[in-house]
Amino acid sequence: MTLLSFIKAAIKTSFRGDKKYIFWMSTLFFFMFIGFYCWTIQLREGLQVTGMSDHVSWGLYISNFTFFVGTAAAAVMLVIPAYVLHDVSFEKTVLMGEGIAVASLLMCLAFVTVDLGSPQNIWHMIPFIGYFNFPESMLAWDVVVLNGYLMLNICIPFYILFCHYQNKKPITKLYLPFVYLSVFWAVGIHMVTAFLYAGIPARPYWNSSLLGPRFLASAFAAGPALIILALDAIQRATQYEIKSSSLDKLAMIATVAAQANLVMLVSELFKEFYWPTEHSHSAKYLFFGYKGYNALCLLVWTSISLNVIATTSLTIHKLRKNKLIRRMSCLVLFLAIWTEKGMGLVVPGFIPSPLGEMVEYFPSKIEIFVTLGILALGLFVFTLLAKVAINIETGKMRLIETEKTGNIKN
Amino acid sequence: MTNSKISFKKFMDMCFKTSEPLEKQQSQCGCETNDKFAKVNSFASESNQACSSKQCGCSSTNSLMSKKVNRRQALSALLGAVAVSCSTAASSTSISQEKDKKEHKKLEWEEYFKGNYRLMNGSERKKTIERLERISELKKHNATISGQLPQKNVLYGYAFNISKCRGYQDCIRACVKENNLDRKENMQYIRIFEMENGNLNLEDGKADYFHEVPKDGHFYLGTQCFQCDNPPCVAVCPVGATWKEEDGIVVIDYDWCIGCRYCQAACPYWARRFNWQEPEIPSEQFNTDQHYLSNRPRPKGVMEKCTYCLQRTRKGLLPACAEACPTGARIFGNLLDPNSEIRYVLENKQVFRLKEELGTEPKFWYFMD
């Protein structure tokens, strides 16, 4: 009964809000609807409506999937200080981090689903009913780790919030083991996603042992940057108290990770260009253009410049302490890593093709709208989760004692 | 060409309609319900008379469960019952047409719930082939689909004589026709690279040449699926929809593929193709002599690839490309037969393979006179 009243209260909370909230949610819903409609077109006509081809067979969808696995994994940067190191300033923010993880994971699953040619056959993946090629296929691993991480990130905050809702104190012993598990799992999801690419000898651009560590570094830069932006937004929109010391620490984490990411970028560039081999053609295409094809050059150089600017301004203490500059730097850093690790990683892996043919990729309108729809879905889910969590934490949404006794009588 | 798949939309429609009629059936238990489920059971491959009218009274689900049907069949039967009761509601055209339509729907429904072809037993394989042939008949294609198994002591290998190929591309045309490749998108399994003398780097070759051949100072090199002995595409497939057969051919179960295209990324020889749309083949050019694992029509949204024409080779014929080649550049045969031509080439010519360093062990060699 308590669970039922919790769900009822949660639904009530999520549907009620001021005008701004309603406007924000209906805008997101509108984009989701457009995206869904475009997906139905794609289902009817086939993937020919996308910009992908036999040469570049993964595009915008898988790029975004790869990136948002990173932001999901970054929740661990809040989980470690909050639960493991018992840093009090993170107590309030960690729930938001977990909300971002859930939203990111749902986006990831949505991106993979829309990328499938035959999504109606997805049940073939269910073990026992279908056939799950585990442990051979890294994609099977990815399905396991992503869903497992999703479960962890739903269950832990749910337990804590549910206890708070009942005005009880959550039992630490009960959830702490899962917290520890989720810390390792977070690293796992991003490493496995990197292995998805790194395990393919056919594509030398991805077939690198640096890919996994670089994924982690970029995730722990872009993820906290996103969390800072989200917390800033929450702070402005609600009365939820977020300690500025936690934001400072988060910014510090993002900074260090962004620096490590740049070091690895330099290492990668050195390896590709000091003595270019046949395996450097993709990198050559990405950074300087190859055989007259250079669709990604502008994108990648913009991204790298933004990355350097953001990392520098975050590195300088004075600038990082300034709220406005910090916010701007985080936004820039997030966008820079998004483009570089998304399109900048996935697409050049296919160009040139293994037989040396040059075919470029440009996302189609349908692809862009579906992607926007999924991004809106992520924001939508995060807003809902955050709203419920905030209402519980601030004491607005709590089980009322009289109601409780009334239930018992029934 | 169309497929044996129920579209996602239809599937969703059926799913959403599920709850209502099912409840009705359960509430008014009696002869009617049993009749319906007797019908349903004839869907599932194992039993026909699960709940006869004599043993009336038993709940219909129980009768289903008492039979030894696997999870998938049970699911198929349960949902199928609903689908049939739904489809009976709508009727307008002539009776025979309506009957065909109904049968078609029923067959497609059963096809949707079938298992992975590699894991099917003999009778299951026979049943799906019968269904596919019947669907083809209903579509007026009248294809015969074989499920011929690999021959014993056979391992297929291919050798390509670079000095003989003149770039005529007769192999490509024969392949397209034999394997029912999509004409709309102009899908091709084989690529012939025009290469300048003195350079064996494929990257400098040109696969899209449109001029008279052979061109002076050039030679020609063909690629297709090399049927690797250690195929990376097979390892990466998350659902096991692709595998290596006993005779060394890497095949795809088109009805099991989910279309994630991981195999396409993993192939170092760019041998795999994806159906970006519903494939189209002019009916007069439709090859009706088909095999389940090779040239039967593919639905949209799944992978396909060269199988060395296993619909032909398992019968002892040459692949269409080797047969069509006017210059004799293509040598095909059994690697396990010491007297085969391919073995002669491997033993007496200087041969090489592409990207051997990747450890994929392709069964496709190049050589020169």
Contacts of B205 (CB under 8 A, 6+ apart): A356, B193, B194, B195, B221
pLDDT for A329 beyond 50? yes
Asked if the C-beta of B7 comes within 8 angstroms of chain A's C-beta atoms, the answer is yes
Cβ burial of A187 (10 Å; 0-12, 13-18, 19+) is middle
For chain A, give the percent of residues with pLDDT over 90. 85
Mean pLDDT, rounded, for B197-211: 93
Q: Closest to A117 (Cβ–Cβ): which among B238, B302, B355?
A: B302
* Per-residue pLDDT at B69: 55
- CA separation for the pair A372, A114 (Å, rounded): 12
Helix (H) or strand (E) holding A274, with range, is helix A244-274
Residue type, A117: G
Give the CA distances from residue B187 to residues A48, B173, B190, B272, B322, in Å, rounded to whole numbers and listed in that order: 13, 11, 9, 11, 19
Gap between the Cα atoms of A282 and A295, Å rounded: 12
Give the confidence band of B8 by pLDDT, cuts at 50, 70, 90.
Answer: very low
pLDDT of residue A409: 36
| Phi, psi for B219 (deg, rounded to 5) | -130, 170
Sort out which chain B residues have CB atoms less than 8 A from A350's CB and list them: 265
- Of residues A410 and B364, the one with the higher pLDDT is B364
Residue position matching structure tokens 């932001």:
A71
Would you list the domain boundaries of chain A?
Answer: 2-400
Can you give the pLDDT at residue A84?
Answer: 86
Instruction: Give the pLDDT mean for B268-290.
Output: 96
Q: Which residue of B has its CA nearest to A126?
A: B239
Asked if the model's pLDDT at residue B55 lies above 70, the reply is no
Q: What is the pLDDT of residue A243?
A: 86
Tokens describing residue A189: 């999801």
Place of tokens 């990207």: B355
- Measured between CA atoms, the residue of chain B closest to residue A52 is B276
Pairwise CA distance, residues A112 & A188, whole Å? 18
pLDDT in tens, A350-367: 999 999 999 999 999 999
Are the CB atoms for A39 and A373 separated by under 8 Å? Answer: yes
SS3 call for B161: strand
Comparing CB atoms, the residue among B203, B232, B274 nearest residue A356 is B203
What are the angstrom distances between the C-alpha of A351 and each of A279, A292, A358, B236?
11, 12, 6, 20
ipTM of the complex: 0.93
Q: What pLDDT shows up at residue B70?
A: 66
Q: How confident is the model at residue A369 (pLDDT cuts 50, 70, 90)?
A: very high
- List all residues 6 or more positions away from B344 whose beta carbon is below 8 Å from its beta carbon: none
Give the rounded percent of residues in chain A with a pLDDT score beyond 70: 98
Instruction: Kindly tell me the sign of the dihedral angle through the C-alpha atoms of A233, A236, A241, A242.
Output: positive
B194: left (phi over 0), alpha (psi -120 to 50) or beta: beta
Query: Mean pLDDT, to the nearest integer, of A309-331?
Result: 95
Q: Is the pLDDT of residue B42 over 60?
A: no
Out of A40, A46, A352, name the one closest to residue B301 (CB): A46
Calpha distance B60→B33 (Å, rounded): 7
CATH of A2-400, one of 3.40.605.10, 1.20.1630.10, 1.10.30.50, 1.10.3720.10: 1.20.1630.10
Query: Radius of gyration over alpha carbons of chain B, in Å?
Result: 25
Which residues in chain B are closer than 8 Å to A141, comparing Cβ atoms? none
Tell me what pLDDT residue A401 has.
Answer: 61
More confident call, B196 vs B78: B196
The closest CB to that of A201, out of B7, B259, B358, belongs to B358
Q: Are A106 and A377 in contact (CB under 8 A)?
A: yes
The rounded mean pLDDT for chain B is: 83
CA-CA-CA-CA torsion sign (B209, B212, B217, B218):
positive
In order, the DSSP letters of B219-262 are EEEEE-----SS-HHHHH-TT--EEE-TTS-EEE-TTT-----H
Distance CA A72, CA A150 (A): 9
Q: Is the dihedral of CA B147, B151, B154, B157 positive or negative?
A: negative
* Chain A residues 213-272 within an 8 A CB cutoff of chain B: none
Q: Does the pLDDT of residue B246 top 50, yes or no?
A: yes
Classify residue A110 by burial, with Cβ atoms within 10 Å: 0-12, 13-18, 19+: buried
**pLDDT at residue number B3:** 41
The distance of Cα B92 from the centroid of its chain, to the nearest Å, equals 35
pLDDT at A408 over 70: no
What pLDDT score does B83 carry?
57
Provide CB contacts within 8 A for A405, sequence distance 6+: none
Which residues in B lie closer than 8 A to residue A58 (C-beta atoms)? 261, 265
Cβ neighbourhood burial of B51 (10 Å; 0-12, 13-18, 19+): buried
Q: CB under 8 Å to B70, separation ≥6 — which residues?
A: none
How many angstroms separate the CA atoms of A46 and B302, rounded?
10
| Chain B CB within 8 Å of residue A40 CB | yes
Size of interface A-B (CB pairs under 8 A): 160
Distance CA B174, CA B360 (A): 27
Token duo for residue B310: 């296993």
Q: What is the mean pLDDT of residues A359-380?
A: 97
pTM: 0.87
Q: What pLDDT digit, counting tens, does each position of B100-154 carry?
A: 999 999 999 999 999 999 999 999 999 999 999 999 999 999 999 999 999 999 9
Reading the block at residue B248, the tokens are: 């060394």
Residue numbers in B near A125 (CB within 8 A): 238-239, 258
B260:A117 CB<8 A: yes
What's the CA gap between A147 and A125, in Å, rounded?
Answer: 13
**Min CA distance, A131 vs chain B (Å)?**
5
CB contact under 8 A, B258 and A124: yes
Q: Which residues of A touch B258 (CB under 8 A)?
A: 116-119, 121-122, 124-125
* Euclidean distance between CA atoms B295 and B289, whole angstroms: 8
- Of the candidate ranges A32-46, A164-178, B121-135, B175-189, the one whose mean pLDDT is the lowest: A164-178
Distance of CA A319 to the CA centre of its chain: 26
Amino acid occupying residue A25: M
Local confidence band at A287 (pLDDT 50, 70, 90 cut-offs): very high
**A186: Cβ–Cβ under 8 A, 6 or more apart, which residues?**
A72, A73, A74, A75, A76, A79, A101, A149
In chain B, residues with a C-beta closer than 8 Å to the C-beta of A354 are 267-270, 355
pLDDT in tens, B307-322: 999 999 999 999 999 9
Q: Is the pLDDT of residue B16 over 50?
A: no
CA distance linking residue A218 with residue B214, whole number of Å: 51
pLDDT (tens digit, 9 = 90+) per residue, A72-108? Answer: 999 898 999 998 888 888 888 899 999 999 999 999 9
pLDDT at residue B1, rounded to an integer: 39
pLDDT band at B91 (very low <50, low <70, confident <90, very high): very low
Long-range contacts of A179-184 (CB under 8 A, 24+ apart): A179/A79, A179/A83, A179/A84, A180/A84, A181/A152, A182/A76, A182/A79, A182/A149, A182/A152, A182/A153, A182/A156, A183/A76, A183/A79, A183/A80, A183/A84
Q: What is the pLDDT of residue B94?
A: 76
CA–CA gap between residue A300 and residue A211 (Å, rounded): 17
Residue-wise pLDDT tens digits, A142-201: 999 999 999 999 999 999 999 999 999 999 899 999 999 999 999 999 999 999 999 999
Interface of A with B in 331-350 (CB under 8 A): 349-350
Q: A277 CB near a chain B CB, below 8 Å?
A: no
What per-residue confidence (pLDDT) applies to B17? 42
Sign, CA torsion B27/B30/B34/B35: negative
Checking if the pLDDT of A410 tops 50, the result is: no
